[in-house]
Amino acid sequence: MSKIIQLEQAISLINSGSSVLFGGFLSVGCAERIIDALVKKGTKDLTMIVIATDYDNKGVGKLITNRQVNKVIASHIGTNKATQTQMNDGSLKVTLTPQGTLLEQIRAAGSGLGGVLTETGLGTVVAEGKQIVNVDGRDYLLEKPIGADIALIKAYKADEKGNLVYSKTARNSNPIMAMAAKKTIVEVDEIVPVGELDPEQIITPGVFVDYLVPA
């Protein structure tokens, strides 16, 4: 069965209340076309898992500005005033997580691991309610895996089996996000026949990709 679908089909797979992993950082490497379609459709009550909430009018930030998100797990919200305003007025729940910890939690979900151990956050409010594990005399926080219903990522090039190549720094969180969702939808600039990609350039194997949306 072909993995190539049209934008309308992709949007129909994302329901109100879905948890979504968004690839990209400050809108670089994000699935902008799919995000715009989500804004237009008005899908509500999304849980957004992302490195940064981008800008009020660019990237994933447009979904927050349009009040389609009720929970955010992110590392950086400083460039999006809508995120800050909604967090402060209580209409948006925001969980701030160090970027390294967040990506390791997502990687753990994609790799089938039970979590990751880190010293980051020990002795602070971050540790409240979390299990502390002692290894060789040192304490670590157990940070549990973070997966999602959907991953929306962006790639430069794909073959028809879903093997992905990224463009420079637009690669950022996309390969990790692709591993950790029940369904991974990729917005891709170019789709080529199987065999045309240099295997050494393939970063995400097609086994992680469910759907390809031409950009």
> What is the average pLDDT value for the chain, to the nearest integer?
97
Q: Which candidate, 155, 145, 148, 149, places its Cα nearest to that of 206?
A: 155
In this predicted structure, the answer to whether residue 1 has a pLDDT above a threshold of 80 is no
Average pLDDT over residues 164-187: 97
Distance of CA 181 to CAs 22, 23, 111, 144, 150, Å?
10, 12, 11, 15, 5
Dihedral sign (CA 121, 123, 128, 130): positive
The mean per-residue pLDDT over the stretch 184-198 comes to 97
pLDDT of residue 126: 87
Domains of the chain, CATH where assigned? 7-97+145-214 (3.40.1080.10)
pLDDT 10s digits, 91-100:
999 999 999 9
pLDDT tens per residue, range 59-99: 999 999 999 999 999 999 999 999 999 999 999 999 999 99
pLDDT of residue 16: 97
